[in-house]
Each structure stands twice: as C-alpha cells, then as structure tokens.
C-alpha cells in the first residue's frame, strides 16, 4: 500500500510522461497476459482471440464513461475523492461486458479440442472486433475518444500510475489465489488429463467455462484501463496481431506460469519502447523470438513453475 501511495505522488514528479505511459502499458499488459495464462497455460485451453475481450472492455468502459460517467462526474463535481470513487466503475463495467462475451464464446466453443478451439477463438475475436467497428455510437472506423463527451469540462482520463498498478496487483492476486488453492487444482487437472479429471468428478466443461469467464473479465478490465489511460481507442489495437502478442507473452514466459507471463509481458512491452529505433523491428523480433523459443526452449522462461515458488505456498501447503 505504501508503495502505491509513493507511486501515486512521486511518479508524476520523477517520471516524464513518456516513461509514465510505458509503465502504464506494462501494467495493462501484465493484467492481460495473466488473464490469458489462466485459460491457455493453467487450464490448457488454447485461446488466441483474447484481444477481442480487451477491445470489448475498452469500448464498453469508454462508452460508459462518455455517456454516463461524464454526466455523473459533472454533477458531483470532479474532486479527487469523487474521481477516486468513480475509478472502479468503468473498469468493472468493461470487465462485465467482456465476461458476458466470454460466456457466449465459451459455452459453444469449449466442446472443441486443440487446434479447432484455437481457430474458433480466433474467429470469435475477429467477429467481436468487426462488430465493434460497425457501431457508430463508439466511433466506428474513426476510433473513439474519451473527449467526445458533451460535458467537456470533465476529464475522463485516468492519470494515476498507482491506480493502474493497484488494479494490476488486485487482478494478479485474484487469479493467483484462484489457481493456487485446493479447488484451483481443478484447472490444472483439466489441463493435464481431461478424461481422467472428468472421471474423478471434476466438472470439466464448467471448469473451462469458469476459466474463460474470469479470464475475459480481467481482459476487459485491462482494456478498460487502456481506454482510460490512452484517452483514445481504435479497433486496430484489438485485432489478432494483439492477440498473437498476448499469446507470445504467455508462451515465452512459460505456459502455465503466472509469474512468467508477468515477466514476459513487462520485458516485451518495455523493451521496444525503450530501445529507440527498434520500431518496425519490434514485431520481427517478437516473431523470431517466438519461433526460436518453440524450437529451442518450448517451456519458455519458467515452464510451469512460478518465481520463488511464491504462490504455491500461498495456502496450498502449511509447512
């Protein structure tokens, strides 16, 4: 908590806005990567359309803020306290809309196995993106800006880096707690051997749908954060290229490792921004790295383990 408070007040003083933006993007990438890891790495269901849920969360939360939030803040007076209380609302809104979509996608597609599931999720992600693109109320092909509110005095953007990381911490902790508990073993059991799990009483379809729901909720939250820190969104940021990036984070970090996903997301989001001139080479680097990793070290950075066995000890064994 202390760290967050420090971050909140010191950050704007110490960091120039460029670095603050990068750090915000890292925080958002972490949430998205960990949420995807729950489905792909922990539960073993290969989803490659995750950016669609981020996009839904981004657009839903932006629409919420622009059409409802602005009026709300305007009438309540946009003081620090009011903004602090308002902060979770668009995020939860984004998360819930994304989760609803997750449910709609999950129920029919989780019957499919392996490659077919992956392709179905890719298709779903694209359908979501194209559907959003066709909604004029959120800008369509022009993109959507938080500034288009009719209450122009209100600034809907979130400036606080601490806020982003608070959300990231809560999200990661929630997912970690879900996974590393007695009941959470069900997710990994489904990954390890679905038939055996089912024969031992684990309701595998329900478990998979749950993983999908939780995962898409947090993807939506990440998207909502993105919308509110960037101030302007376009469906181009939520296409399958972004989905593939998230898959890269999850795989390179180690399929099944939450801390691995965090590290990969942080490093791969920060590196190209900081290494100036890398620009167009960023994606080339990603792809080469991805290919090389799959051939030379398919378990990625941490495989299925966690850094410092941190979460494994969290309530799993007493010792």
4-43 positions binding other proteins, by CB under 8 A: none
168, 31 Cβ separation under 8 angstroms: yes
What character string, x for contact with other proteins (CB under 8 A) and - otherwise, covers 275-294? -----xx-xx-xxx-xx--x
Q: Kindly state the smallest distance separating residue 93's Cβ from other proteins, in Å.
A: 19
From 15, 68, 72, 185, residue interacting with other proteins (rule: CB under 8 A): 185
Closest distance between other proteins and the C-beta of residue 194, in Å? 10
Size of the site for other proteins (CB under 8 A): 71
CB of 47 to other proteins, least distance (A): 12
- 236 touches other proteins (CB under 8 A): no
CA–CA separation, 238 and 221 (whole Å) = 14
> Near other proteins by CB under 8 A, which window of 7-15, 27-35, 64-72, 111-119?
111-119
Angle between helices 185-192 and 161-179 (to 10 degrees): 70
- The reply on whether position 273 binds other proteins by CB under 8 A is no
Binder among 109, 160, 229, 235 for other proteins (CB under 8 A)? 109
Q: How far is the CB of 105 from other proteins (least distance, A)?
A: 9
CA atoms within 13 A on the CB side of 21: 9
User: Distance between CA 78 and CA 65 in Å, rounded?
Assistant: 13
Whether the Cβ atoms of residue 97 and residue 72 lie closer than 8 Å to each other: no
Place of tokens 């950050």: 11
Candidates 134, 152, 236, 313: give the one binding other proteins (CB under 8 A). 134
What letter would DSSP give residue 66?
A: I
Question: For residue 315, which phi and psi values (nearest 5 degrees)?
Answer: 90, -5
Q: How far apart are CA 196 and CA 198, in angstroms?
A: 5
Q: Considering the complex, what minimum distance in angstroms separates the CB of residue 76 from other proteins?
A: 30
Contact between 70 and 37 under an 8 Å Cβ cutoff? The reply is no
Q: Which of residues 67-96 bind other proteins (CB under 8 A)?
A: none
Which of residues 85 and 284 has its CB atom nearest to other proteins in the complex?
284
């Amino acid at each position: 908590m202390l760290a967050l408070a420090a971050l909140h007040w010191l950050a704007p003083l110490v960091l120039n806005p460029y670095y603050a933006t990068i750090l915000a993007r890292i925080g958002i990438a972490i949430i998205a990567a960990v949420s995807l890891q729950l489905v792909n790495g922990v539960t073993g269901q290969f989803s490659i359309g995750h950016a669609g849920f981020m996009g839904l969360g981004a657009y839903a939360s932006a629409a919420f803020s622009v059409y409802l939030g602005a009026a709300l803040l305007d009438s309540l007076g946009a003081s620090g306290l009011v903004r602090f209380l308002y902060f979770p609302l668009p995020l939860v809104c984004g998360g819930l809309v994304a989760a609803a979509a997750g449910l709609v996608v999950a129920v029919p597609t989780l019957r499919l196995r392996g490659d077919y599931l992956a392709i179905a999720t890719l298709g779903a992600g694209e359908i979501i993106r194209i559907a959003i693109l066709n909604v004029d109320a959120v800008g369509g092909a022009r993109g959507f800006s938080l500034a288009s509110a009719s209450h122009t005095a209100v600034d809907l953007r979130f400036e606080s880096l601490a806020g982003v990381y608070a959300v990231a911490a809560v999200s990661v902790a929630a997912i970690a707690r879900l996974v590393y508990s007695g009941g959470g073993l069900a997710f990994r059991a489904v990954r390890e051997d679905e038939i055996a799990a089912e024969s031992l009483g684990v309701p595998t379809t329900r478990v998979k749908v749950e993983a999908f729901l939780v995962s898409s909720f947090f993807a939506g939250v990440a998207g909502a954060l993105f919308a509110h820190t960037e101030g302007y969104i376009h469906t181009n940021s939520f296409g399958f290229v972004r989905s593939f990036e998230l898959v890269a984070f999850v795989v390179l970090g180690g399929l099944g490792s939450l801390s691995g996903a965090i590290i990969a997301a942080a490093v791969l989001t920060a590196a190209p921004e900081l290494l100036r001139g890398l620009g167009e080479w960023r994606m080339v680097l990603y792809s080469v790295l991805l290919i090389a990793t799959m051939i030379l070290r398919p378990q990625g950075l941490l495989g299925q383990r966690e850094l410092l066995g941190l979460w494994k000890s969290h309530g799993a064994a007493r010792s």
